[in-house]
Amino acid sequence: MRSLIIFLVLQVIGALLTPFIFVPQEMRPFISETPGVIDVGFIFVLAVVGAIVLLIIKLFIPLRWISHMVVLSCGFYLGSFWSELWGFLLGFFVLALRFTKDIWLMNISTSICAISFGFLFGAFVSPEFALLLITALAVYDAWGVLYTKHIQKLWLAQHGKKKKMTISKDKIFDGILMAVPTERGFEIMGVGDYALPLVLVISAAKLNILAGIIIAIFSTFGYWQLQKVRGKILPGIPFIGVGCALGLLLVKVIRLI
């Protein structure tokens, strides 16, 4: 239940912050109407190039240091909406939280990174494009978790006859994760599971803040459906993505955007 509340609060915070984030007027959404073939091609190229770059970096730089660089960049980006000084301070603040080795402080750092990622794309794209991005990454998430297993192997180690997947507390700090303590250990979610719905929430909230809040609630419903499946490691983005799609459909039907 705690992780569900955290998810909802984070999505709503993203929507509520949107009016206070400076979005340059000269910036325009990549698309303004229904996504077309060009947009699909853009996402495909972006995914391929990004995967190649990450693979090359992973060969030479430890995962933990890659995470530190991403966290520092996210903090700097979000703070820079107000000023370069705020960007500098926020960047090192969120990085310092990770070095405390405290789970809840790390979760705060991860939350700030998720919001920063949400504004990185959501402030400058249309809701339709944001949903298209979520759909593409949902396919990747499902493939990586259920078929190739490479996402599981990146974080988790196999233990026991049933080969249940577990993760040590120390290993949590290698990546950018949200880890909520439970009686059985930790409930783990990657930063992307929080950041991707924020892209859609923010892209809608900049047009109508109520639309952003509605989508935040529906994305949380998708996350809740994921939580109801116990004892299995499942891709989170497809569940959350369905909730996002339903939320966007509703705000379109009632003409909030």
- Residue 116 placed within a domain: no
- Residue 183 placed within a domain: yes
The pTM score is 0.76
* DSSP string for residues in 219-241: HHHHHHHHHTS-SS---HHHHHH
- Residue 230 placed within a domain: yes
- Residue 66 placed within a domain: no
Helices (H), the chain: 2-17, 37-60, 63-79, 84-99, 103-122, 127-142, 150-155, 169-172, 191-205, 209-227, 236-253
- Residue 224 placed within a domain: yes
Number of domains observed in the structure of the chain: 1
Q: And the tokens for 127?
A: 């809701």
- Residue 97 placed within a domain: no
pLDDT tens digit string along 44-101? 555 556 555 665 665 666 667 777 788 888 888 888 877 788 888 998 998 888 888 8
- Containing structural domain, residue 214: 2-19+124-253
- Residue 82 placed within a domain: no
Residue reference for tokens 């509605």: 214
pLDDT tens digit string along 151-183? 555 545 433 334 444 455 556 666 677 777 777
Exposed e or buried b per residue across 194-217, where buried means at least 16 C-beta atoms within 10 angstroms of its C-beta = bbbbbbbbbbbbbbeeebbbbbbb
- Residue 107 placed within a domain: no
Distance (Å, rounded) from C-alpha 217 to C-alpha 30?
A: 25
